[in-house]
Amino acid sequence: MAEQTVESHLFIILGATGDLTRRKLLPALYQLSNRGLECRDLSIVGASLQEMGTDAFRLWAYEGLQKAGWRHDNNLRAWCDACLYYQSVGSGSAQDYEALAGFISELERARATPHNRVFYLALPPDTVPTTIQRLAEAALLKSDGWIRIVFEKPFGHDVQSAHALNDRLHRYLDESQIYRIDHYLGKETVQNLLAFRFANPIFESLWRRDTVDHVQITVAEDIGVERRGAYYDQSGALRDMVQNHLTQLLTVMAMEVPSSFEAGAIRSEKRKVLQSVAPISREDVVFGQYTAWQIGNLLIPGYREEPGVPDDSMTETFVALKMEIHNWRWKGVPFYLRTGKRLPRKMTQIAVTFREAPAQIFRALGADGPSPNQLLITLQPSEGFSLCFSVKRPGRPFQFSDRALHFDYEEAFGALPESYETLLRDVMIGDQTLFVSADFTETAWRLYDRVIAEKQDVHFYTAGMWGPPEADALVERNGHRWQLGW
């Protein structure tokens, strides 16, 4: 757990002229420099199909970082000129990658940099296998230093494709070199769940079926599919969000105490959670799709009116499901997962509802009983915790009022690092704790493959609503209701 030093290395971004690089990667890398990571330890090489030189790439990056909030930063231009380089990979041929290999070798020699390399594949998912092969053929994955590969979801689209992808990666790389990034795991609140549970016996002692009634995990988005219509229609909410983001949050919430605070031990316990999940019944899954919403003169288009989406598409933009974990700790406790687009507000929240008191002594006084205690863990828009409980209102008659103790991360510690900043630094120091392993991806896909294969009707909901009524019925038939925060 001690802070580790970042070894000098090259950080090579393939797909460097794309939106991900400009919005997320370059701001995170620049912020790391503001926290002490100097250019002598971090040289950034942009590589993409676009023909441009290093000077043009530096200007492109400078203008993007200005728009991202550093317009008045006097060090920005100097950082771009000192740290950034560019090499086109042309059409992506073997010869183009040989040229990239020559450029990298020359840069390592000129800057006296050890042969340590991070390759960040900011690329469409279907190009990842070919890119890995090209890097291997150009001998870029062999060095007397260390090599690390980073790429974004999706990690396959079902268990077969995930296995095929992992098999291709393992032809050229050891699993210890592969970093499958899920930006949700870089959020401070997700990381703090481990400390919250395992460093505070007061909560860990309550983290079981005897005291927990049910758990809800909600990832709500207020936007539509925007410019991703063609991609999204081949994916849908289950593949795009549930199989990765929500399932990761589920395992962090439900895992047992690891033997140590190390990547291998934590990953092992998360995998055990997935292996304990009971088969998901069709009756416990609700799919939805948003339709148009008229607000005065403003028309919010429905999913089928989005660019790139067929006008008869039955792809889901909303999923709600119930699952059960059949192990000693959680048997009988329902876990509800919910995500959707065009919902009323952007929100990521985990709600743990505790069981009611076994004897309601206050009913003899004619008072309404207290509400169940709840722990609300918020990941966005703000990060923090709320512990909700009942108190007596002053005076007569005897009545209860619900109140909450709040903890807000930014209020306590100031601005938090962005998740990409945290994760990129972890890549640089070789810490895989917050990254997705090969066996996790395949085990997670096995959970949902049957749900995908037996996909049922899609229910429609108006944009701006909390999904279709059938999602409410899913929890209500178990005596619950969706928690929407405090």
Domain CATH number, residue 77: 3.40.50.720
pLDDT digits (tens, 9 = 90+) for 168-211: 999 999 999 999 998 888 887 787 888 888 888 888 889 999 99
pTM of the model: 0.90
Instruction: Give the separation between CA 199 and CA 373, rounded to whole angstroms.
Output: 21
406 lies in which domain range?
Answer: 185-416+439-476
Same domain, yes or no: 123 and 199: no
Q: Is the per-residue pLDDT at 363 higher than 70?
A: no
Instruction: Give the separation between CA 148 and CA 163, rounded to whole angstroms.
Output: 20
Q: How far is CA 440 from the centre of its chain?
A: 14
User: Residues with catalytic annotation?
Assistant: 245
pLDDT band at 1 (very low <50, low <70, confident <90, very high): very low
pLDDT digits (tens, 9 = 90+) for 407-426: 988 888 888 888 899 999 99
* Closest of 66, 94, 69 to residue 80, by C-alpha: 66
Q: Which two tokens stand for residue 371?
A: 């509400």
Q: Is the per-residue pLDDT at 309 higher than 80?
A: yes
Q: Is the per-residue pLDDT at 84 higher than 90?
A: yes
- pLDDT score at 362: 66
- pLDDT score at 70: 84
Same domain, yes or no: 129 and 36: yes
Q: What element of type H or E holds 80?
A: helix 76-83
Same domain, yes or no: 134 and 66: yes
Phi-psi region of 132 (alpha: psi -120 to 50; beta: other; left: phi over 0): alpha
User: Is 2 inside a domain boundary?
Assistant: no
Which letter, b or e, does each residue of 179-192 get, where b requires 16 or more Cβ atoms within 10 Å of its Cβ?
bbbbbbbbbbbbbb
* Residues 281 and 323: beta-carbon distance below 8 Å: no
**Mean pLDDT for the stretch of residues 284-307:** 92
In three-state secondary structure terms, 263 is helix
In three-state secondary structure terms, 342 is coil
Domain CATH number, residue 331: 3.30.360.10
Other CB atoms within a 10 A radius of the CB of residue 358 amount to 5
* Closest of 34, 117, 44, 118 to residue 68, by C-alpha: 34
Q: Is the per-residue pLDDT at 367 higher than 70?
A: no
Q: Is the per-residue pLDDT at 2 higher than 60?
A: no
**Mean pLDDT for the stretch of residues 68-88:** 90
Q: How far is CA 66 from the centre of its chain?
A: 26
Same domain, yes or no: 123 and 249: no
pLDDT band at 133 (very low <50, low <70, confident <90, very high): very high
* Closest of 354, 260, 368, 280 to residue 320, by C-alpha: 280
